[in-house]
Amino acid sequence: MKLFGKSFGDGLMETEYEVIIIGAGPAGLTAGIYCQRRALKTVIIERASVGGQILYASKIENYPGFGKTTGMEIAQKMDEHAKDLGVKIINEEVTGMDLIGNVKKIMTHENTYTTNSVIVATGGEHRKLDVKGEKEFIGKGVSYCTTCDGPLFKDRIVAVVGGNNMAVTDALYLSDIAKKVYLIHRGDLLKAEEIEQEKLKRKNIEVILNTTVEGIVGDKMVKSIKIKNLSGEVKNIKVDGIFVSIGIVPSIEIAKKAGIKVDDKNFIIVDREQRTNVDGVFAAGDVTGGARQISTAVGEGCTAALSAYKYVRKIN
């Protein structure tokens, strides 16, 4: 086998890149770092901001080695690390993929790139409540990012919807800004880490369990939300804003169209080596499901990169 830039004697054809990584969240950036260190000609294609979903995390306390930090800080350090090693990041949106054969094509609005292997690390998008008023009031009191919009609600009343780690940390963050915070969760128990739940007791946060949000009401801005408990009781709560933190929907449409298999929850199916059903295509991070944590994404990004290296270099 010869190095990139020549034709390969063992089946792989000359391409523009040896690895294309789609997505620059923790999984994609980690994959880029490992691919670069293995001297693979690599590019990361990211349609939005480098860092992905962790940019919305106002506070992180469980990522080893960082102590108390923010998603923005971790994202910046990962971005700097990757760029210091020479990882190329292109800000374009992938619109399609042709993954058949040894020469794979990645299409964006601007260009078509060729590669020997692909790592899909597209993460996900905020899950929506899908209730009346949600779409109408986005940016007018409905938000999915506390660090972006929280400061706009100083000394006001807000609600956070969700029971996971992100929802609880969002509520805690907002409690230092807002006059009052409601934390509304449809289950009978919060899913957040116990150490975070304990902090709720010391804040101006009212936890409402076994309750769903049925609608969002307002005129020019959000004025109240309609909630319903398990017994069917419906009432309105006056709020100035509502922050939705109910999880992530994996971004898999382009992958599915390209023939990559997903499970019944629309997560990409991978094995222990992060291999998909398509030869030379790997996936990592939130798009594969499981524990949606930075540490998990980093681990999967590393594994995917090493698997891509073995694939490109034909190492068993």
- Is 145 an annotated catalytic residue? yes
Chain-centre distance for alpha carbon 27: 9
In the block, which residue shows the tokens 């116990």?
Answer: 194
- Is 240 an annotated catalytic residue? no
| 49 Rama class: left (phi>0) / alpha (psi -120 to 50) / beta | beta
Choice among 84, 98, 149, 263 that is catalytic: 149
- Is 149 an annotated catalytic residue? yes
Q: Which two tokens stand for residue 72?
A: 């923005």
Choice among 148, 263, 271, 279 that is catalytic: 148
Q: Please, which residues bridge with residue 207 across strands?
A: 183
Residue 204 phi, psi (nearest 5): -80, 55
In the three-class reduction of DSSP (H, G, I as helix; E, B as strand; rest coil), residue 301 is classed as: helix
Choice among 79, 130, 145, 279 that is catalytic: 145
Residue 250 phi, psi (nearest 5): -65, 140
Sign of dihedral through CA atoms 59, 62, 66, 67? Answer: positive
Q: Which two tokens stand for residue 284?
A: 């990592």
170 touches 245 (CB < 8 A): yes
Q: Please, which residues bridge with residue 255 across strands?
A: none
- Give the active site residues: 145, 148-149
